[in-house]
């Protein structure tokens, strides 16, 4: 289904962050910018070197902060990205939901206990690479794994069943109509709210379809809300 088209009225072309448009990086770019400003304001431009200080910066969570401390500054700090999480779940045969509160507590405890005090940079890189290359989600290469003799999941024959797969959430369905407003070869576009689904991305004007509302009716309502007037040309595929 193609959008109704209005060929009258004013229009403008969105500009925005063209260097990363369409790549899904808008929120990351904003967080990087905010973090850079805070580093300048709080730390005089010197990048912080502790987990707590790093985790307080926009876009940096607990695991990322630990990875920065371990890899960039070669100081002991636990990490728990997706690869490390999978390695630890199998190593200790954790049968619980790996994202539950209890599982998080166990996993962070194990991550901290196993973090090397000597050469933490190498340990962090090694355990992440182990999960990325050998302890993979669907086909773990157990015979080549250096932890094969210690792995409780392998001993129990559960290496392919763990981590436990979470039940998928039902994806909500939204019915919307979009209008393409053209004038002089330019199209009207506007940014989405900075937070939430597709935050900050530029889009054609859209409106949610009300219950039992026809698309053309919603399109006419949207055109009126935009303060425009014109002939709607509808096409569908």
In which domain, by residue range, is 217 found? 5-20+175-233
200-221 burial: b if 16+ Cβ within 10 Å, else e: bbbeebbbebeeeeebeebbbe
Are 150 and 208 contained in the same domain? no
Our CA dihedral for 127, 130, 131, 137, rounded to 10 degrees, sits at -160
Residue 224 main-chain phi, psi, to 5 deg? -65, -40
Give percent helix, percent strand, percent coil of the chain, each to the nearest 5: 40, 10, 50
Domain total for the chain? 2
Task: Please tell me whether the overall predicted TM-score, pTM, comes out greater than 0.95 for this model.
Answer: no
| Domain contains 67 | yes
Residues facing residue 180 across a β-bridge = 5
Between CA 6 and CA 183 the distance in angstroms is 9
- Quick one: how far is CA 63 from the chain centroid? 14
Q: Which of 124, 155, 186 is the last residue of a domain?
A: 155
CATH number at residue 125: 1.10.1670.10
Half-sphere exposure of 27 (CA within 13 A, CB side): 12
Are 196 and 226 contained in the same domain? yes
| Domain contains 42 | no
Predicted confidence at residue 51, as pLDDT, reads 96
| Domain contains 164 | no
pLDDT tens digits along 159-172? 999 999 887 788 88
Quote the tokens at residue 73: 């500054």
| Domain contains 218 | yes
- Quick one: how far is CA 118 from the chain centroid? 32
pLDDT tens digits along 149-201? 999 999 999 999 999 988 778 888 888 989 888 888 888 999 888 777 777 78
Our CA dihedral for 86, 89, 93, 94, rounded to 10 degrees, sits at -140
């Amino acid at each position: 289904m193609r959008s109704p088209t209005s060929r009258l009225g004013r229009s403008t072309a969105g500009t925005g962050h063209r260097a990363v448009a369409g790549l899904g990086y808008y929120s990351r770019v904003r967080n990087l910018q905010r973090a850079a400003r805070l580093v300048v304001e709080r730390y005089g431009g010197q990048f912080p070197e502790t987990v707590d200080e790093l985790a307080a910066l926009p876009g940096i969570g607990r695991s990322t902060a630990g990875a920065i401390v371990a890899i960039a500054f070669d100081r002991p700090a636990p990490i728990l990205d997706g690869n490390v999480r999978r390695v630890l779940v199998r190593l200790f045969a954790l049968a619980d939901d790996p994202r539950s509160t209890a599982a998080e507590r166990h996993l962070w405890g194990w991550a901290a206990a196993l973090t090397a005090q000597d050469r933490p940079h190498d340990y962090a890189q090694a355990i992440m690479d182990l999960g990325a290359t050998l302890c993979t989600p669907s086909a773990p290469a157990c015979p080549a794994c250096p932890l094969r003799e210690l792995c409780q999941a392998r001993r129990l024959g559960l290496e392919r069943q763990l981590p436990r797969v979470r039940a998928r959430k039902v994806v909500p369905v939204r019915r919307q109509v979009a209008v393409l407003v053209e004038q002089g070869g330019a199209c009207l576009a506007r940014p989405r709210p900075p937070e939430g689904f597709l935050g900050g991305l530029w889009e054609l004007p859209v409106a949610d379809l009300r219950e039992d509302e026809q698309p053309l009716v919603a399109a006419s309502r949207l055109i009126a809300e935009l303060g425009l007037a014109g002939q709607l040309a509808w096409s569908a595929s």
